[in-house]
Structure 1
């Protein structure tokens, strides 16, 4: 994330990295979707996805039944799975930025 980015949304979230649900903060700016893990997680590497690399989003049910999953698909075929409240708002904002 760059200092010139304009923050659109920010929330506490989890990012699935293998079997670990990494807790942290998800931030959407006009240029990036970024995730920063809490220091207490095993996997703490930051994630920065340029908005221009995002080709789609979809909803999923976390743990098979909790309707709070947000999947983000990138141009290179990677799908990142987040757990975040108000996922519809995230999907709407991402659609606005990627259209």
Structure 2
């Protein structure tokens, strides 16, 4: 993972996830800090670029069903309208942690 920003700390790390991007589910790991959610793909994927989302830019995070039937995903909608989807285990806990970190970040920023 890249260097942390000033006043940034890790809340959880190494959460196994798949980033649903176009026709590939890129495998990797999620990291949650008090400022960002970061996905770092495994080097064996075709698409190996990282994705990071600032918590302050998230307008919505919710449960998502893969292929419309498998209850194993999360969907994040950014203020820009961009939608990012991940397949994860224990999605309720991850969603709670992101919401809690976002609230803390909002309190610090305001």
TM-score normalized with structure 1 length: 0.91
C-alpha distance in structure 2 between counterparts of 1:73 and 1:98, whole Å? 14
Contact 1:55 1:75 survives alignment (8 Å): yes
Gaps of 5+ in 1: none
Gaps of 5+ in 2: 104-110
Q: CA RMSD in A?
A: 1.3
Report how many residues are paired: 99
- The partner residue of 1:55 within 53, 59, 68 is 59
**Which structure shows the bigger proportion of residues in strand conformation?**
1
C-alpha distance in structure 1 between counterparts of 2:64 and 2:74, whole Å? 6
Structure 1 residue 98, shift from structure 2 partner: 2.2
**Deviation >3 Å, runs of 4+:** none
Structure 1 residue 3, shift from structure 2 partner: 2.4
Which residues in structure 2 correspond to 1:1-99 (within 5 Å)?
Answer: 2-4=3-5, 5-10=8-13, 11-99=15-103
TM-score normalized with structure 2 length: 0.83
Which secondary structure does the structure 1 equivalent of 2:99 belong to? helix
Q: Which protein shows a greater Rg? A: 2
